[in-house]
């Protein structure tokens, strides 16, 4: 779906999420959301915050699982995705802290093995993700599933691609400060979501969006696996869609 700009696209996505949350409330059920970081979802979160403040949308029945976190990374570090989510969404809404799940980047490599399998198990125990919000990296990563990621991959530690680290360099004040590793939900974890919406804005994403939507499915471009999902929508602005 191509919107004139990222504001109108983001508002439409936020409203879809809000309707899902409300539908779940009507049946006294949890709404299990997979959430993303990066600049792409920020306006979606702003609209969700507005709906909470001005229209009384409650997040009391919402369980969230974030896609990824840098490794190693302390939660109170301002570059952590934990910090990002608090700032851009969680501290502004009425979600219960115990309902927030973000991969833990503050552990040893050995500990992360167990934590990753527990993350998968927790998603399963909640009945799987009702909705997964995605951005896309220029390597065609979703979460941090870099080129080479298998479609059966689950939550695990990964090595970040050079391009991904260089794209993150400005927020870390230099490439040398960008972690070399991350913890990410796997491709299979994402694809098991019942509904997926991927956001991409701007000319910078036009090439990767073209490859993802029109290219052949390949582990070299993990976002192409989304072509196999039965209920995925790419929400784009005119610039991101310009090569389609």
Which residues have a catalytic role annotated?
Answer: 146
Confirm or reject binding of residue 36 to ligand GLP (CB under 6 A).
yes
Closest separation in Å from C-beta 23 to ligand GLP: 26
Residue 50, CB-side half-sphere exposure with 13 Å CA sphere: 10
Pairwise CA distance, residues 144 & 203, whole Å: 21
The one among 6, 31, 34, 37 contacting ligand GLP by CB under 6 A: 37
Confirm or reject binding of residue 39 to ligand GLP (CB under 6 A).
yes
Query: How many residues at the interface with ligand GLP, by CB under 6 A?
Result: 13
Cα angle at 75 between 145 and 96, to 5 degrees? 95
Report strand pairing: 31-35 vs 131-134: parallel
The one among 164, 189, 212, 224 contacting ligand GLP by CB under 6 A: 164
CA nearest 116: which of 96, 102, 131? 102
Are 9 and 199 spatial neighbours (Cβ–Cβ below 8 Å)?
yes
The one among 43, 47, 68, 189 contacting ligand GLP by CB under 6 A: 68
Confirm or reject binding of residue 186 to ligand GLP (CB under 6 A).
no
Q: Closer CB to ligand GLP, residue 61 or residue 64?
A: 64
Q: Is the peptide bond before 72 cis (omega within 30 degrees of 0)?
A: yes
The one among 143, 165, 223, 237 contacting ligand GLP by CB under 6 A: 143
Q: Which residues bind ligand GLP (CB under 6 A)?
A: 36-40, 67-68, 135-137, 143-144, 164
């Amino acid at each position: 779906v191509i919107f004139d700009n990222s504001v109108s696209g983001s508002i439409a996505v936020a409203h879809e999420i809000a309707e899902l949350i409300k539908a779940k409330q009507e049946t006294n059920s949890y709404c299990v959301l997979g959430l993303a970081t990066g600049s792409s979802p920020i306006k979606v979160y702003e609209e969700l915050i507005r709906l909470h403040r001005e229209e009384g949308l409650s997040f009391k029945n919402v369980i969230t699982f974030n896609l990824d976190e840098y490794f190693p990374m302390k939660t109170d570090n301002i570059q952590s995705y934990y910090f990002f989510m608090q700032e851009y969404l969680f501290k502004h809404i009425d979600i219960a802290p115990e309902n927030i799940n973000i991969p833990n980047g503050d552990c040893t490599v050995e500990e992360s093995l167990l934590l990753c399998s527990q993350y998968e198990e927790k998603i399963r125990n909640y009945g799987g993700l009702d909705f997964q919000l995605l951005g896309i990296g220029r390597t065609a990563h979703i979460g941090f599933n870099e080129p080479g990621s298998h479609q059966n991959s689950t939550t695990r530690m990964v090595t970040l691609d050079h391009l991904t680290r260089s794209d993150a360099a400005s927020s870390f004040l230099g490439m040398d400060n960008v972690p070399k590793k991350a913890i990410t939900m796997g491709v299979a974890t994402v694809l098991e979501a019942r509904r997926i919406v991927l956001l991409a804005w701007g000319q910078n994403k036009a090439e990767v969006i073209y490859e993802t939507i029109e290219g052949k499915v390949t582990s070299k471009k993990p976002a192409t696996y989304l072509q196999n999902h039965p209920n995925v929508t790419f929400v784009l602005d005119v610039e991101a869609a310009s090569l389609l």
